[in-house]
Amino acid sequence: MDGAATGELYNLDIIREIASAVLIPIQVGGGIRQLETVEPLLKAGIKRVILGTAAVEDPRLIEEACLYN
């Protein structure tokens, strides 16, 4: 929940560990406000990134984030 308040990606190492330890798709959300945060999450094994408020405020973010798929 730290990222939701600050917009920083604090827990990438933990997220990566969880993604590699389970066989189910993982989604992450909370504080993802820029495209630069999406790529590291996808590379860490996350299947879905929740964009929330940032996508409402800047719909182009959705289009650009979809290019990573």
pLDDT in tens, 2-52: 555 555 677 899 999 999 999 999 999 988 988 899 999 999 999 999 999
Determine the pLDDT at residue 31. 86
Count of the separate structural domains present in the chain: 1
| Ramachandran bin of 45, using left for φ above 0, alpha for ψ from -120 to 50, beta for the remaining angles | left
Measure the N-to-C terminal CA separation of the chain; round to a whole number of Å: 25
CATH code assigned at 25: 3.40.50.12600
Determine the pLDDT at residue 67. 86
Determine the pLDDT at residue 49. 93
pLDDT in tens, 51-63: 999 999 999 999 9
Question: What residues make up the domain containing 59?
Answer: 2-66
Note the pTM of the prediction, 2 decimals.
0.79
